[in-house]
Amino acid sequence: GAGVSQSPRYKVAKRGQDVALRCDPISGHVSLFWYQQALGQGPEFLTYFQNEAQLDKSGLPSDRFFAERPEGSVSTLKIQRTQQEDSAVYLCASSPRGGVRGETQYFGPGTRLLVL
């Protein structure tokens, strides 16, 4: 079956530009996660949704970062006034149920953002 998909796969933005990154989770998955992965580092947690509710946004680095999942399926991560330090791969993951301990997260291929 279809896995997690993300679009665009690559995005080049000029500093100060707003960007929107899309995640399509596996159909029926309750939980959705966003991670940021800088070059040579592991993914860093950004935010977590259970259905349409954003239960944890403690990892968002600043108020320029905003995520939504209005209908409990597709999610968008928006970055306003992009800065060079925002350059990274943004990974989306989904899991079947809600916050179940140790449940498998299925990752998408990521969106590679480069801010010039």
Partner 1 sequence: QKEVEQDPGPLSVPEGAIVSLNCTYSNSAFQYFMWYRQYSRKGPELLMYTYSSGNKEDGRFTAQVDKSSKYISLFIRDSQPSDSATYLCAMSAFINAGKSTFGDGTTLTVKP
* Interface residues toward partner 1, by CB under 8 A: 4, 31, 33, 35, 40-45, 48, 56, 59, 91, 93, 95, 99-110, 112
Minimal distance, residue 16 CB to partner 1, in Å: 27
Q: Tell me whether residue 11 or residue 110 sits nearer to partner 1 (CB atom).
A: 110
What is the number of other CB atoms lying within 10 angstroms of the CB of residue 11? Answer: 18
User: Does residue 109 have a cis peptide bond before it, meaning omega lies within 30 degrees of 0?
Assistant: no
Cα of 74 vs its chain's centroid, Å: 11
The backbone torsions φ and ψ at residue 11, rounded to the nearest 5 degrees and listed phi first, read -145, 125
Cα of 96 vs its chain's centroid, Å: 17
Minimal distance, residue 15 CB to partner 1, in Å: 24
Q: Tell me whether residue 7 or residue 17 sits nearer to partner 1 (CB atom).
A: 7
Provide the token pair at 75.
């999610």
Q: Tell me whether residue 59 or residue 80 sits nearer to partner 1 (CB atom).
A: 59
Minimal distance, residue 106 CB to partner 1, in Å: 8
CA separation for the pair 26, 1 (Å, rounded): 9
Minimal distance, residue 64 CB to partner 1, in Å: 21
Q: Tell me whether residue 48 or residue 79 sits nearer to partner 1 (CB atom).
A: 48
Provide the token pair at 51.
């259905």
